[in-house]
Amino acid sequence: MCAWDHWWSGEVKMEMDVIKEYIDFAEEQGWPYMLIDWQWYGPYNKAHADITKPAPQLNMPEILEYARSKNVRCWLWLYCTDVNKNDSYKEAFALYEKWGIAGIKIDFMDRDDQEMVNWYHRIIKEVAKHKLMVNFHGAYKPDGIGRTYPNLLTREGVMGGEYSKFSKRVTPEHNVTLAFTRMLAGPMDYTPGGFLNVSMEGFKPKNPTTVPNSRCAELSKFVIYDSPLTVMCEHPKYVLGQPGADFLKIVPTVWDDTRFLDGYPGEYIVMTKRSGKQWFIGAMNNCMKRVVEIETSFLPAGEYEFEYWADAKNADKKPTEVLKKKVRFVAGKSLSIKMVSGGGYVGVFTPVK
């Protein structure tokens, strides 16, 4: 999981205290990464842009030392045109390795012609030389090269959470459909995690950014959507101490097993994924409230401690409201999942020793 500075407002404040605030956020949540986004090296896509020199107001050694003290590693955002200048990326990637950077997020390629596809391969190979990972934003859909180059963790190629900043197109129906369409092609950098949840009827693009679904529907994206590097979009002040923040401390981003349990494109989906001996379950709904009965034959025989986060009874009016419970559960028993309009559900089964 990765904290990410300033999706929530649509503004970028590339300042030392802001970056440290998000590093603190990652530490508090137990996440290994923090992404320093655009303008860390000043104005991008300009003749003078230099991806080896931090903006004057930033002390990169101090930032990286602070991150190390918090057991957090940093990712860096790059504009693709700035990367391409005179093969400057070779010098930059070597520098990032010395800095101890975990990976890079390259943005705004916005093409899938042969020249660009070849460029992707060159970049992935070069970052691998310097033990860096990569996330392609502004990218075409996955084409399987992640099997060849495992340092390619994820890519955008999806109408994801960012669109809620300026569009009404990211509806509950859209989010459910993604699980049956785009996600089948490979990992997607949707950037989930909006905690300013509102109803679809009450939604409009604004600052700070709201999202038109329930809190539990937002949590379900962390189980349902596949992205080994999952970038959490929200500002820490809207997450810490709020319902569901505890789930984001425990949900993995890589899995040992994945099962589709129930659903239909555009209507709802229920999936379960295994990490070690724990099974996580996530359900996401469209704009029609529903109850889904799920068989739990995926669980090995035995008794489990089952902790779940469900839409509260009034979540249709107050989408941030969550019902959280912990119960004993016997494998094979039916599980009833109730979801409001734009709702969701998450839970984790832990074997009782």
The closest of 178, 229, 170 to 194, measured between CA atoms, is 170
Where do the domains of the chain lie, and which CATH numbers do they carry?
A: 2-254 (3.20.20.70), 258-351 (2.60.40.1180)
Output the pLDDT for position 331: 97
% of the chain exceeding 90 in pLDDT: 95
pLDDT in tens, 126-146: 999 999 999 999 999 999 999
Give the CA count within 13 Å in the CB-facing half-sphere of 47: 0
* Cβ-based neighbour number of residue 245 at 10 Å: 18
CB 269 within 8 A of CB 249: no
pLDDT in tens, 252-304: 999 999 999 999 999 999 999 999 999 999 999 999 999 999 999 999 999 99
* Cβ-based neighbour number of residue 140 at 10 Å: 18
pLDDT in tens, 41-92: 999 999 899 999 999 999 999 999 999 999 999 999 999 999 988 778 999 9
Q: Exposed, middle or buried, 94 (CB in 10 Å: 0-12/13-18/19+)?
A: middle
pLDDT in tens, 79-125: 999 998 877 899 999 999 999 999 999 999 999 999 999 999 999 99
Strand-pair category, 152-155 with 231-232: unpaired
> Which uninterrupted H or E stretch holds 223?
helix 215-224
Output the pLDDT for position 13: 80
Whether cis (ω within 30° of 0) applies to the bond prior to 172 is no
The closest of 141, 143, 134, 133 to 160, measured between CA atoms, is 141
Output the pLDDT for position 9: 67
The closest of 107, 83, 85 to 96, measured between CA atoms, is 83
pLDDT in tens, 50-61: 999 999 999 999
